A = this chain, B = another copy of it.
Amino acid sequence: MPETFAVAGAGLIGRAWAIVFARAGHRVRLWDGVPAALDAALPLLRANLDDLEAQGLIASAAEVVGRVETVASLGDALDGAAWMQECIAEQVEPKAALFAEADRLAGPTAILASSSSAIAASRFTEELPGRLRCLVAHPVNPPYLVPLVELCPSPWTDKAVVAKARTVMEAVGMVPVSVNREVEGFVLNRLQGALLAEAFKLVADGTISADDLDKTVKDGLGLRWSFMGPFETIDLNAPGGVADYCARYGPFYERLQAEQAPVLAWDADLVTRIEAERRKHLTADRLGERQVWRDRRLMALLRHKKDATDEYGG
Protein backbone atom coordinates (compact mmCIF):
# COMPACT_ATOMS: atom_id res chain seq x y z
CA MET A 1 0.00 0.00 0.00
CA PRO A 2 1.45 3.39 -0.94
CA GLU A 3 2.59 5.43 2.02
CA THR A 4 3.71 9.03 2.23
CA PHE A 5 7.38 9.82 2.74
CA ALA A 6 8.50 13.29 3.79
CA VAL A 7 11.93 14.36 2.55
CA ALA A 8 13.41 17.41 4.31
CA GLY A 9 16.11 19.02 2.20
CA ALA A 10 16.02 19.06 -1.62
CA GLY A 11 19.75 18.86 -2.30
CA LEU A 12 21.59 15.95 -3.91
CA ILE A 13 20.80 13.46 -1.13
CA GLY A 14 17.21 14.59 -0.60
CA ARG A 15 16.40 14.29 -4.29
CA ALA A 16 18.05 10.87 -4.42
CA TRP A 17 15.95 9.64 -1.47
CA ALA A 18 12.84 11.03 -3.17
CA ILE A 19 13.68 8.81 -6.15
CA VAL A 20 14.08 5.76 -3.90
CA PHE A 21 10.68 6.24 -2.24
CA ALA A 22 8.79 7.23 -5.39
CA ARG A 23 10.38 4.43 -7.44
CA ALA A 24 8.95 1.99 -4.90
CA GLY A 25 5.45 3.34 -5.56
CA HIS A 26 5.12 5.71 -2.60
CA ARG A 27 4.08 9.35 -2.47
CA VAL A 28 6.88 11.79 -1.63
CA ARG A 29 6.52 15.27 -0.19
CA LEU A 30 9.76 17.14 -0.71
CA TRP A 31 10.44 20.26 1.29
CA ASP A 32 13.40 22.62 1.55
CA GLY A 33 13.89 25.74 3.67
CA VAL A 34 15.44 27.47 0.66
CA PRO A 35 12.67 28.14 -1.91
CA ALA A 36 15.12 28.27 -4.83
CA ALA A 37 16.38 24.77 -3.99
CA LEU A 38 12.83 23.51 -3.96
CA ASP A 39 12.04 25.15 -7.29
CA ALA A 40 15.07 23.51 -8.90
CA ALA A 41 14.38 20.11 -7.39
CA LEU A 42 11.81 18.56 -9.70
CA PRO A 43 13.62 19.31 -12.97
CA LEU A 44 16.88 17.93 -11.50
CA LEU A 45 15.07 14.90 -10.17
CA ARG A 46 13.41 14.36 -13.52
CA ALA A 47 16.81 14.42 -15.24
CA ASN A 48 18.05 11.64 -12.91
CA LEU A 49 14.89 9.65 -13.54
CA ASP A 50 15.19 10.04 -17.33
CA ASP A 51 18.68 8.65 -17.00
CA LEU A 52 17.45 5.67 -14.98
CA GLU A 53 14.72 5.05 -17.56
CA ALA A 54 17.24 5.24 -20.42
CA GLN A 55 19.41 2.70 -18.58
CA GLY A 56 16.48 0.34 -18.13
CA LEU A 57 16.41 0.66 -14.35
CA ILE A 58 12.89 2.09 -14.12
CA ALA A 59 9.93 1.71 -16.45
CA SER A 60 8.71 5.30 -16.56
CA ALA A 61 10.36 8.49 -15.33
CA ALA A 62 7.09 10.39 -15.79
CA GLU A 63 5.24 7.97 -13.55
CA VAL A 64 7.86 8.15 -10.80
CA VAL A 65 8.18 11.94 -10.85
CA GLY A 66 4.39 12.13 -10.73
CA ARG A 67 4.53 10.75 -7.20
CA VAL A 68 6.81 13.54 -5.96
CA GLU A 69 5.27 16.81 -4.78
CA THR A 70 7.17 19.83 -3.49
CA VAL A 71 5.62 21.49 -0.45
CA ALA A 72 6.08 24.87 1.20
CA SER A 73 6.53 23.80 4.81
CA LEU A 74 7.87 20.94 6.88
CA GLY A 75 4.39 20.58 8.38
CA ASP A 76 2.91 20.03 4.93
CA ALA A 77 5.56 17.44 4.19
CA LEU A 78 4.88 15.54 7.39
CA ASP A 79 1.10 15.58 7.17
CA GLY A 80 0.15 11.89 7.17
CA ALA A 81 3.74 10.80 6.48
CA ALA A 82 4.93 7.40 7.73
CA TRP A 83 8.60 8.34 7.49
CA MET A 84 10.67 11.50 7.41
CA GLN A 85 14.10 11.44 5.79
CA GLU A 86 16.13 14.48 6.84
CA CYS A 87 18.78 15.56 4.32
CA ILE A 88 19.93 19.02 5.46
CA ALA A 89 23.32 20.46 6.36
CA GLU A 90 25.75 18.23 8.29
CA GLN A 91 25.66 20.40 11.46
CA VAL A 92 24.22 19.66 14.88
CA GLU A 93 22.15 22.83 15.42
CA PRO A 94 20.11 22.81 12.20
CA LYS A 95 19.46 19.09 12.63
CA ALA A 96 18.38 19.60 16.25
CA ALA A 97 15.98 22.40 15.23
CA LEU A 98 14.53 20.38 12.39
CA PHE A 99 14.04 17.24 14.48
CA ALA A 100 12.38 19.28 17.24
CA GLU A 101 9.93 20.71 14.76
CA ALA A 102 9.37 17.37 13.04
CA ASP A 103 8.77 15.59 16.35
CA ARG A 104 6.10 18.21 17.16
CA LEU A 105 4.40 18.03 13.74
CA ALA A 106 4.66 14.40 12.67
CA GLY A 107 1.97 11.82 13.32
CA PRO A 108 2.54 9.62 16.38
CA THR A 109 3.70 6.51 14.47
CA ALA A 110 6.00 8.28 12.01
CA ILE A 111 9.70 7.36 12.04
CA LEU A 112 12.11 10.29 11.90
CA ALA A 113 15.36 9.43 10.12
CA SER A 114 18.46 11.50 9.42
CA SER A 115 20.82 11.00 6.47
CA SER A 116 23.69 12.17 8.69
CA SER A 117 27.03 10.61 7.80
CA ALA A 118 29.03 11.89 10.74
CA ILE A 119 26.72 13.14 13.49
CA ALA A 120 25.18 10.49 15.74
CA ALA A 121 21.43 10.68 16.41
CA SER A 122 22.00 11.17 20.14
CA ARG A 123 23.54 14.59 19.45
CA PHE A 124 20.33 16.11 18.07
CA THR A 125 17.46 14.10 19.58
CA GLU A 126 18.16 13.75 23.32
CA GLU A 127 15.68 16.41 24.49
CA LEU A 128 12.79 15.37 22.25
CA PRO A 129 9.57 13.81 23.61
CA GLY A 130 9.66 11.46 20.62
CA ARG A 131 13.36 10.68 20.74
CA LEU A 132 12.61 6.95 20.75
CA ARG A 133 11.42 7.17 17.12
CA CYS A 134 14.51 9.01 15.84
CA LEU A 135 17.53 7.37 14.24
CA VAL A 136 20.12 7.84 11.54
CA ALA A 137 19.52 6.13 8.19
CA HIS A 138 22.82 6.81 6.46
CA PRO A 139 22.85 6.19 2.70
CA VAL A 140 25.68 5.88 0.24
CA ASN A 141 25.50 8.46 -2.52
CA PRO A 142 23.32 8.11 -4.52
CA PRO A 143 20.97 5.76 -2.65
CA TYR A 144 19.02 4.93 -5.80
CA LEU A 145 22.17 3.28 -7.19
CA VAL A 146 23.79 1.93 -4.02
CA PRO A 147 21.23 -0.01 -1.97
CA LEU A 148 23.05 -0.10 1.37
CA VAL A 149 21.65 2.01 4.21
CA GLU A 150 23.15 2.05 7.72
CA LEU A 151 20.50 2.25 10.44
CA CYS A 152 22.17 3.81 13.46
CA PRO A 153 19.92 4.22 16.49
CA SER A 154 20.79 6.40 19.47
CA PRO A 155 20.93 4.72 22.89
CA TRP A 156 17.26 5.68 23.42
CA THR A 157 15.87 4.69 20.03
CA ASP A 158 13.19 2.03 20.51
CA LYS A 159 14.32 -1.41 19.28
CA ALA A 160 10.88 -1.82 17.67
CA VAL A 161 11.52 1.38 15.70
CA VAL A 162 14.81 -0.03 14.39
CA ALA A 163 13.05 -3.27 13.43
CA LYS A 164 10.29 -1.34 11.66
CA ALA A 165 12.84 0.88 9.94
CA ARG A 166 14.53 -2.25 8.54
CA THR A 167 11.20 -3.44 7.18
CA VAL A 168 10.42 -0.05 5.61
CA MET A 169 13.87 0.21 4.02
CA GLU A 170 13.67 -3.32 2.63
CA ALA A 171 10.21 -2.56 1.25
CA VAL A 172 11.59 0.39 -0.74
CA GLY A 173 14.37 -1.78 -2.21
CA MET A 174 17.22 -0.76 0.07
CA VAL A 175 19.54 -3.13 1.96
CA PRO A 176 19.45 -1.98 5.60
CA VAL A 177 22.06 -2.98 8.18
CA SER A 178 21.88 -2.29 11.89
CA VAL A 179 24.72 -0.38 13.51
CA ASN A 180 24.10 -1.11 17.18
CA ARG A 181 26.45 1.40 18.78
CA GLU A 182 27.08 5.05 17.99
CA VAL A 183 30.60 4.82 16.59
CA GLU A 184 32.28 7.52 14.53
CA GLY A 185 32.01 6.73 10.82
CA PHE A 186 29.37 4.08 11.47
CA VAL A 187 30.52 0.88 9.72
CA LEU A 188 30.98 1.58 6.02
CA ASN A 189 33.32 4.52 6.45
CA ARG A 190 35.25 2.72 9.19
CA LEU A 191 35.89 -0.16 6.79
CA GLN A 192 36.79 2.24 4.00
CA GLY A 193 39.06 4.12 6.40
CA ALA A 194 40.89 0.96 7.45
CA LEU A 195 41.67 0.07 3.85
CA LEU A 196 42.51 3.67 2.88
CA ALA A 197 44.89 4.00 5.83
CA GLU A 198 46.91 1.03 4.60
CA ALA A 199 46.67 2.23 0.98
CA PHE A 200 48.15 5.63 1.88
CA LYS A 201 50.95 3.93 3.86
CA LEU A 202 51.87 1.63 0.98
CA VAL A 203 52.09 4.58 -1.40
CA ALA A 204 53.91 6.73 1.16
CA ASP A 205 56.72 4.23 1.64
CA GLY A 206 57.06 3.51 -2.08
CA THR A 207 55.78 -0.07 -1.95
CA ILE A 208 53.37 0.58 -4.81
CA SER A 209 52.10 3.41 -7.01
CA ALA A 210 48.60 4.80 -6.44
CA ASP A 211 47.58 3.57 -9.87
CA ASP A 212 48.80 0.01 -9.25
CA LEU A 213 47.10 0.05 -5.86
CA ASP A 214 43.82 0.95 -7.56
CA LYS A 215 44.32 -1.98 -9.94
CA THR A 216 45.00 -4.31 -7.00
CA VAL A 217 41.49 -3.54 -5.78
CA LYS A 218 39.48 -3.20 -9.01
CA ASP A 219 41.05 -6.21 -10.76
CA GLY A 220 41.61 -8.33 -7.65
CA LEU A 221 40.36 -7.74 -4.15
CA GLY A 222 37.23 -5.78 -5.10
CA LEU A 223 35.74 -8.34 -7.48
CA ARG A 224 34.47 -10.75 -4.82
CA TRP A 225 33.48 -7.92 -2.50
CA SER A 226 30.94 -6.73 -5.08
CA PHE A 227 28.84 -9.84 -4.48
CA MET A 228 30.14 -11.37 -1.21
CA GLY A 229 31.19 -9.62 1.97
CA PRO A 230 34.62 -10.09 3.58
CA PHE A 231 33.41 -12.81 5.95
CA GLU A 232 31.76 -14.86 3.22
CA THR A 233 34.90 -14.38 1.14
CA ILE A 234 37.20 -15.92 3.74
CA ASP A 235 34.55 -18.54 4.59
CA LEU A 236 35.04 -19.86 1.04
CA ASN A 237 38.84 -19.48 1.07
CA ALA A 238 39.66 -22.41 3.35
CA PRO A 239 38.33 -25.97 3.03
CA GLY A 240 36.68 -25.87 6.46
CA GLY A 241 35.18 -22.39 6.33
CA VAL A 242 35.90 -19.25 8.33
CA ALA A 243 37.17 -20.96 11.52
CA ASP A 244 39.58 -23.02 9.43
CA TYR A 245 40.68 -19.83 7.64
CA CYS A 246 41.34 -18.08 10.96
CA ALA A 247 43.33 -21.06 12.23
CA ARG A 248 45.50 -20.98 9.11
CA TYR A 249 45.93 -17.24 8.61
CA GLY A 250 44.99 -15.60 11.93
CA PRO A 251 48.62 -15.29 13.10
CA PHE A 252 49.57 -13.66 9.78
CA TYR A 253 46.76 -11.11 10.09
CA GLU A 254 47.68 -10.46 13.72
CA ARG A 255 51.27 -9.64 12.69
CA LEU A 256 49.90 -7.37 9.98
CA GLN A 257 47.70 -5.52 12.47
CA ALA A 258 50.74 -4.80 14.62
CA GLU A 259 52.69 -3.54 11.60
CA GLN A 260 49.74 -1.43 10.45
CA ALA A 261 49.04 0.16 13.83
CA PRO A 262 51.13 3.34 13.60
CA VAL A 263 48.99 6.31 12.56
CA LEU A 264 50.16 7.98 9.35
CA ALA A 265 48.85 11.50 8.90
CA TRP A 266 47.96 12.27 5.31
CA ASP A 267 50.38 15.17 5.07
CA ALA A 268 50.61 17.67 2.23
CA ASP A 269 53.53 15.95 0.47
CA LEU A 270 51.84 12.57 0.40
CA VAL A 271 48.50 14.00 -0.74
CA THR A 272 50.26 16.03 -3.43
CA ARG A 273 51.97 12.92 -4.75
CA ILE A 274 48.71 10.98 -4.98
CA GLU A 275 46.88 13.98 -6.43
CA ALA A 276 49.60 14.32 -9.09
CA GLU A 277 49.33 10.65 -9.98
CA ARG A 278 45.52 10.83 -10.27
CA ARG A 279 45.71 13.97 -12.44
CA LYS A 280 47.94 12.08 -14.88
CA HIS A 281 45.01 9.72 -15.46
CA LEU A 282 42.23 12.28 -15.18
CA THR A 283 42.66 16.03 -15.51
CA ALA A 284 40.71 18.12 -13.02
CA ASP A 285 38.38 19.52 -15.67
CA ARG A 286 37.17 15.98 -16.42
CA LEU A 287 36.22 15.02 -12.86
CA GLY A 288 32.53 15.79 -13.48
CA GLU A 289 32.36 13.73 -16.64
CA ARG A 290 34.10 10.85 -14.84
CA GLN A 291 31.45 11.00 -12.09
CA VAL A 292 28.84 10.50 -14.81
CA TRP A 293 30.88 7.51 -16.04
CA ARG A 294 30.98 6.13 -12.49
CA ASP A 295 27.20 6.34 -12.19
CA ARG A 296 26.78 4.63 -15.60
CA ARG A 297 29.07 1.84 -14.41
CA LEU A 298 27.12 1.57 -11.15
CA MET A 299 23.86 1.30 -13.11
CA ALA A 300 25.33 -1.38 -15.36
CA LEU A 301 26.69 -3.22 -12.29
CA LEU A 302 23.24 -3.14 -10.65
CA ARG A 303 21.62 -4.62 -13.75
CA HIS A 304 24.36 -7.25 -13.84
CA LYS A 305 23.94 -8.11 -10.15
CA LYS A 306 20.21 -8.53 -10.59
CA ASP A 307 20.68 -10.80 -13.61
CA ALA A 308 23.46 -12.82 -11.95
CA THR A 309 21.39 -13.26 -8.79
CA ASP A 310 18.42 -14.40 -10.87
CA GLU A 311 20.62 -16.88 -12.72
CA TYR A 312 22.97 -18.18 -10.05
CA GLY A 313 21.46 -17.10 -6.72
CA GLY A 314 22.54 -14.41 -4.31
List the interface of chain A (C-beta within 8 A of B).
Answer: 118, 140-141, 146-148, 150, 175, 177-181, 183-185, 187-199, 202, 205-232, 234-237, 239-243, 246-247, 250, 252-266, 271-272, 274-275, 277-279, 281-282, 284, 287, 290-291, 293-294, 296-298, 300-301, 304, 307-308, 311-313
The residue from B266, B287, B304 contacting A241, defined by CB atoms under 8 A apart: B287
- Please give the count of copies of this chain that the complex contains: 2
The secondary-structure label for the interface of chain A is helix
Residues of B within 8 A of A141 (CB): 237
- On whether the beta carbons of A196 and B252 are closer than 8 Å, the reply is no
Which residue on B lies nearest to A247, using beta carbons? B271
- On whether the beta carbons of A223 and B298 are closer than 8 Å, the reply is yes
- Complexed CA–CA distance, A208 and B178 (Å): 6
**Closest CB pairs A-B (n = 8):** A214-B229, A148-B220, A222-B225, A226-B226, A177-B212, A194-B198, A304-B304, A175-B219
- On whether the beta carbons of B196 and A294 are closer than 8 Å, the reply is no
- On whether the beta carbons of A253 and B195 are closer than 8 Å, the reply is no
The residue from B191, B221, B224 contacting A216, defined by CB atoms under 8 A apart: B191
Show 27 A/B contacts (Cβ-Cβ < 8 Å), sorted by A: A148-B221, A175-B219, A177-B208, A177-B216, A178-B208, A179-B207, A184-B259, A185-B252, A185-B256, A194-B260, A215-B229, A218-B232, A223-B298, A225-B226, A232-B278, A241-B282, A242-B275, A243-B274, A246-B266, A253-B266, A254-B263, A254-B266, A258-B263, A261-B261, A300-B304, A300-B312, A304-B308
Contact A256 B190, CB 8 Å, known A146-B223, A218-B226: yes
